[in-house]
Amino acid sequence: MVASDLDRTLIYSAASLGLTGPDAAAPRLLCVEVYEHRPLSYVTETAAELLARLARAAVFVPATTRTREQYGRVRLPGPAPEFAICANGGHLLVDGVSDPVWRAAVAERLAAGCAPLAEVRARLLATADPAWLLKERTAEDLFAYLVVDRERLPGGWVAELTEWAGERGWTVSLQGRKIYAVPRPLTKSAAMREVARRTGAQLTLAAGDSLLDADLLLAADRGWRPGHGELADGDWNAPGVTALAERGVAAGEEILRRMVTVAEDRMGAGDVRTAV
């Protein structure tokens, strides 16, 4: 099975496309998300073809920090995935519906393993400065995040929050203009393992660009990270994880190309269902 992050890994906003060179040489783009009547996220046409091939050769599982509502706006090429991981592992969707057994197991882990959301949210609001704080949100009553003006964000603020949160069992991730505070027991990797168990997958592939994807990459048999993002900025590497040089939407293409190669090779060997 293939479990992949979406934003800035497979799909890209206009600001994160990372296009270089003459406009005439730019790849053709396909819009995969519309929000408030505006196109929001894109893949290249080549990536769209690769996604469709991947869905035929493997169990493809989107693994995103997006809420269920935010994920619902995304229309990926190919058949709708049977499984999807939302809210950083807080919800496991099966044919678009949150699995109640999985949700109950997540609630149990959170109750035992970290400080409550209310405490962390109070800290965020008490220490954030209105001069650079644009929005504050909670997601699915599971974690919190801020939208900030990066140019005005004090250099040491994220580090201080990371230390404070770490002592209470939470992880902090800075992704573009967003600062996420996520409970440490809330992971994409746990949900990926559950899908692998249900499908009988013998090989798992993963991709992601942020600190919240690190556990997913470590849990997979093989993984890829793009040349941009939080992991690349920190020069994060691990055995079995390939750090790509490509950045922006070109990285999304290359990730899919490599995943398709592995999955189709596996399928050609006669193992379709477990060919992640």
Q: What is the pLDDT of residues 160-186, one digit of tens each?
A: 999 999 999 999 999 989 999 999 999
pLDDT digits (tens, 9 = 90+) for 100-146: 999 999 999 999 989 999 999 999 999 999 999 999 999 999 999 99
Enter the pTM of the model: 0.93
- Cα separation, 195 vs 220, in Å, equals 12
32, 76 Cβ separation under 8 angstroms:
yes
Superfamily of structural domain 2-107+186-274: HAD superfamily/HAD-like (3.40.50.1000)
pLDDT digits (tens, 9 = 90+) for 16-74: 999 988 999 999 999 999 999 999 999 999 999 999 999 999 999 999 999 999 999 99
CB hemisphere CA count around 262 (13 angstroms) = 20
What integer pLDDT is reported at residue 35 of this predicted model? 96
Is CATH 3.90.1070 what the domain over 115-183 is classified as, yes or no?
yes
Domain boundaries, the chain: 2-107+186-274, 115-183
* Residue 273, pLDDT above cutoff 70: no
What the block records as the tokens of 252 is 């999304």
Q: What residues contact 143, with CB distance under 8 A and at least 6 apart?
A: 87, 88, 90, 117, 180, 181, 182, 183, 186
In 81-177, DSSP assigns E strands to 83-86, 91-94, 97-98, 133-139, 143-148, 170-175
- Cα separation, 41 vs 89, in Å, equals 22
Q: How confident is the model at residue 269 (pLDDT cuts 50, 70, 90)?
A: low
What the block records as the tokens of 130 is 């209105």
Beta bridge partners of 41: 13, 33
